[in-house]
Structure 1
Amino acid sequence: MPAKKLGRSTVKFASPPIIVGTGTVVGPVEGKGPLASDFDVVLPDHAYGERTPEKSETKILEQAAKIAIERAKIEKSMVDYYMAGDLLNQIISAGYSARQLSIPYFGLYGACSTCAMSLALAGMVIDGGFADYVLVACSSHYQTAERQYRYPIELNIQRKTTSQYTVTGAGAAVLASSGTGPKLTHATVGKVVDLGLKDVHDMGGAMAPAAADTLLTHFADTGRGPKDYDLILTGDLASFGSEMLKELVRDNGVELGANYRDCGLMLFDTKSQHVGAGGSGCACSAVVTFGHVLKEMEKGTYKNVLLVATGALMSPLSCQQGESIPCVAHAVVIEA
């Protein structure tokens, strides 16, 4: 077995990369939620001065990336690679932001798992000695995702109880081979899990089995359990998916306690804000992790965090053709 590999799917970094700078930008709805004070920029509206929501999403992704670089106290020319993704066709938000940033670019698509996937890949690149600085980023936008995957927002379609609200925002982080800050110590790469669910209005239910598989794999590979973490965080399972995850892992002898939370439920007040079952989207786990969680780690609230970001890998066309929804979850460990 490779020296840095643990079990089936986990990597333990010999020289853990360090998160030296972060940037977060969120939309107006997210800016009225319980975590509003943890974000760098709150948009006044969804357009943000642009003619289309797609252009707005590119703009906020680029802005989050620039904030992260500034916080890292390095020049843009020092960044070896830019790893980014989003939810749109051909990951255009990431591609157009890369055009403006002019940094060697890896475009990533893991749907809403992109935050953890980019952190895992950046960690491998840095720990492998291929880079000193890697910028990771991802974004989503309520208006762009809704009209690509569901319905035009002008139709004002009534939501199902399992429907989630796509987060408008972008999160970015600079990982470095040296410096001070939280460390990325482990990464567990998930495999695609598909239980045959086809309802695009129940992403939490579709993704929960993938989250359970990755979580159980991580525990088996590392010999750890839920009590070894101050916080276990899923990306965007929201209310229904979170409960399903608890049941799935309980069936395998693992009990998730009070240290388990979901980004999609943390970002909004689901009782007072009209967000359905909770938040979703690439930006969901990115802004909560890079904005809120890392600030709490600086305060000493958390010392050992396990992030499990989940993604649904369908397309509008595949759903129209009757395909089920394949899902994946990737996990990373961040330690103070």
Structure 2
Amino acid sequence: MDLKRMGNQTVVFANPPVILASHSVVGPKEGQGPLRKTFSKVWKDQLHGEKSWEVAETKMLQEAMQGAIDQVGFPKEQIDFMLAGDLLNQIISASFAARQMALPFIGLYGACSTMALSMAVGSMLLDGGFARNVLVGVSSHHDTAERQYRFPTEQGTQRAMSAQWTVTGAGSLLIGKNGTGPRITSATIGRVVDYAESDVNNMGAAMAPGVADTILNHLNDLQRKPEDYDLIVSGDLGAVGLGLAAELLKKSGLDMGTKFTDCGVMIFDASQDVHAGGSGCGCSSVVFAGDIMQRIKIGELKRVLLVGSGALHSPTSSLQGESIPGIGHAVVIEA
């Protein structure tokens, strides 16, 4: 069998998997942002009638994944694997949603890069002949993430201007071996990069080097330039991290131009007081499943590079004085 690997870190799919359906569910703040019309469902409040934020996040992910299934019109038994993850300890939102979905489950953790990572791994399963259809989904919730990583929101702690607002949202894709829709043509698996950033209120700075490294390797592996893409979007560096990543790439001789943006920049506007922008693995999942998928379907975007960005730390590692390693995983989606 021919090796599908190209260059240092990229795999090119011989039979590119097809995105058959997408579904996104967001919280009220996200539903007030500039992408409000692109989401499948907007919750009226953060709890959605549940007893805790954590239970609500599980319900949100479950709703997003079921929403993708409902679009395709074939039985759930034709889905061979469910790939999902979130930000909470032991990825409990994904695991508890999988308990309800009753599908063979592969739990993944890449922090905010989990959506791109899930798309990459799912595509490998499909192109490798190990599955007919896979369901991928990712979630985050502002209040669950704040409680775990920083301070409970009830405490009213002052947020640094470099801090990002964890998105309450869940996005899901149903990806198939055959069918009609945008195709995932290649994936670049990132390396862990650590520039010794230790400020948990500046995730963008911690993740930017990993994203820049993945973009450089992706373009080198495929012998491409930024101009070969209609959109290169990270998720989620926020405004601070996006600027740093662009600066790092420029120092490497790569001018990203105007096509380089970030899901955390796209999902909120300046009036919403989110400081550096959105974050959380739900951010890139709902922006991609909503806005970007719609723009691909209407022909506005022909080739997109989605680069998920992850800060691979924990509350324990931060308390022990560890720096924050960053990573970027990339997938190419073509109309």
- Whether TM-score is above 0.5 comes out as yes
Q: What are the within-5 Å matches in structure 2 for residues 81-230 of structure 1?
A: 81-230=81-230
Tell me, in whole angstroms, the C-alpha distance in 2 between the residues paired with 1:326 and 1:71.
38
Aligned to 2:296: 297
Is the 1:22–1:72 contact (alpha carbons within 8 Å) kept by the matching residues of 2? Answer: no
1:77 shift after superposition: 1.4
Aligned to 1:241: 241
1:113-132 per-residue CA deviation (whole Å, 9 max, x = no partner) reads: 00000000000000000001
1:52-105 per-residue CA deviation (whole Å, 9 max, x = no partner) reads: 000000000000000011112221111100000000000000000000000000
Is the 1:197–1:325 contact (alpha carbons within 8 Å) kept by the matching residues of 2? Answer: yes
Aligned to 1:11: 11
1:163 shift after superposition: 0.4
Q: What are the within-5 Å matches in structure 2 for residues 274-285 of structure 1?
A: 274-285=273-284
Tell me, in whole angstroms, the C-alpha distance in 2 between the residues paired with 1:335 and 1:315.
35
Is the 1:20–1:179 contact (alpha carbons within 8 Å) kept by the matching residues of 2? Answer: yes
Aligned residue identity for 1:300:
G
Tell me, in whole angstroms, the C-alpha distance in 1 between the residues paired with 2:74 and 2:143.
34
Q: What are the within-5 Å matches in structure 2 for residues 6-45 of structure 1?
A: 6-45=6-45
1:254 shift after superposition: 0.4
Aligned residue identity for 2:294:
K
Aligned residue identity for 2:107:
G
Q: Which runs of 5+ in 1 are unaligned?
A: none
1:2 shift after superposition: 5.6
Is the 1:16–1:184 contact (alpha carbons within 8 Å) kept by the matching residues of 2? Answer: yes
Tell me, in whole angstroms, the C-alpha distance in 2 between the residues paired with 1:73 and 1:196.
49
Tell me, in whole angstroms, the C-alpha distance in 2 between the residues paired with 1:10 and 1:70.
32
Aligned to 2:326: 327
Aligned residue identity for 1:236:
D
Tell me, in whole angstroms, the C-alpha distance in 1 between the residues paired with 2:62 and 2:74.
16
DSSP 3-state at the match of 1:272: helix
Aligned residue identity for 2:282:
A
DSSP 3-state at the match of 1:29: helix
1:260 shift after superposition: 1.1
DSSP 3-state at the match of 2:146: helix
Tell me, in whole angstroms, the C-alpha distance in 2 between the residues paired with 1:262 and 1:57.
23
Tell me, in whole angstroms, the C-alpha distance in 1 between the residues paired with 2:325 and 2:189.
15
Aligned residue identity for 2:44:
P
Aligned residue identity for 2:106:
F
Aligned to 1:76: 76
Q: CA RMSD in A?
A: 0.8
Tell me, in whole angstroms, the C-alpha distance in 1 between the residues paired with 2:325 and 2:193.
6
Aligned residue identity for 1:60:
M
Does residue 253 in structure 1 map to residue 287 in structure 2?
Answer: no
Does residue 307 in structure 1 map to residue 297 in structure 2?
Answer: no
1:207-256 per-residue CA deviation (whole Å, 9 max, x = no partner) reads: 00000000000011000010000000000111110000110000011001
DSSP 3-state at the match of 1:54: helix
Tell me, in whole angstroms, the C-alpha distance in 1 between the residues paired with 2:53 and 2:25.
15
TM-score, length of structure 1 as denominator length? 0.99
DSSP 3-state at the match of 1:258: helix
Tell me, in whole angstroms, the C-alpha distance in 2 between the residues paired with 1:155 and 1:334.
42
Tell me, in whole angstroms, the C-alpha distance in 2 between the residues paired with 1:30 and 1:145.
16
1:144 shift after superposition: 0.0
Q: Which runs of 5+ in 2 are unaligned?
A: none
DSSP 3-state at the match of 2:252: coil
TM-score, length of structure 2 as denominator length? 0.99
Q: Tell me the number of residue pairs that the alignment of Structure 1 and Structure 2 aligns.
A: 335
DSSP 3-state at the match of 1:98: helix
Aligned to 2:46: 46
Moved over 2 A (4+): none
